[in-house]
Chains A and B, each alone.
Chain A
Amino acid sequence: MAWNIISALVENKPGVLFRVSNMFRARNFNIESLSVGPTEQSDLSRITVTVDSDEHVTEQMVKQLRKLIDVVDVTRLQVSDTVYRELALIKLKAVDPSSRMEIINLANVFRGKIVDVSKSTIMVEITGTPDKIDAFKSLVEHYGVIQLARTGVSALPRGVLYE
């Protein structure tokens, strides 16, 4: 098993995300994260999928994706040659001033941002590789995670003319 990033350019129109996710479900492929959003071309969206899978299964995912009529292009991104990021919002319990300070310090170390503070909670926005987000989460878990939202990975290959 290996961690893989698959990037697909798809038609930006209704029903496409359903077709893609339905294919993953029907073929019994397990996906770890999936993110969708617009691209530089208004009629195309990019779907980024991360999976933990065998080589053979990953190849099948790519081929089955390519087979979908609405999928215009599929690339398997080389992890070492790719910039990939995820954004997480983490709302933590922070009632006493000392834990509040500790969380702010940890967030700084991770280049996170404090985006919301209430009497009893503090919300951190953190961007980075999924590993970095996992690491931050494990460091702050003991304060009490009230809510957590992650976007899934967005990725682009490094370099300028490569696609």
Chain B
Amino acid sequence: MSVERVRTAVGHVVLMFGVLVSLFPFYWMVVMASNTTPDIFSYPPKLLIGSHLFENMGKVLDNIDFFGSMLLTLVASLAVTVLVLFFDSLAAFAFAKYQFPGRNVLFGILLATFMIPTQLSLVPQFVVLAQFGWIGSLKALVIPGAANAFGIFWMRQYAKGAIPDELISAAKVDGAGFFRQYLTVGLPVLRPGLAFLGIFTFINVWNDYLWPLIVMTDPNRLTLQVALDQLNGIYGTDYSMVMAGALMSVIPLIGVFLIGARSFIADLAAGAMKF
């Protein structure tokens, strides 16, 4: 028994060390954001949280349109999330629960699209959007990502297990059409799955850097990630301020994650197991 105990104790020490490594950069971000730049660049460096946090945050607001960028990022993330949830769950519902000619072929095509790296079509996508006149607009951030193969695949797996055929049959007997069935039978049952897909999508759009870097060409309309990088590029000498900006950009994201963390992680793992 005592051997077992020692082993669990060692396990916890290993895990706790890992947690420290995982979380340290966040602590360090707060330390840098709350001290002055000369302080963090002194030797030995300051390791404790200082008192200049709000001063540094204020400087961020003076130098970049932080709230403008945040609003743009928020609107884009929410818009993509809502559209993805609707389009993906609707398609997944059809794929999971209905027979229709060509269903398997269509689903096969959908799976095949996983193979295409996004960077492959970066150049022509830019050209297409330029033709549409969408470069620099919110549409460029939202529309291309409004439905995605991962979400449909994931929701379909979820829907298959979660929606009982009897419920659909009952709705049919009641005279409900397909979209009615989706609204009354599909959506309520799919809600936990939608929560996962929603958080996942929101975080991904919020974090995306390459795509907004390419399509948001107007320096007055940048997403948070691009604006943050610009802040670093132009005012990199004021590290405390850059870190205050980084901190401000991370907080909403971690908030969203922590709200649904428990089931989010479980769902993500379950999704990976199904591949």
Indicate whether A and B interact.
Answer: no
Q: A residues engaging B (CB < 8 A)?
A: none
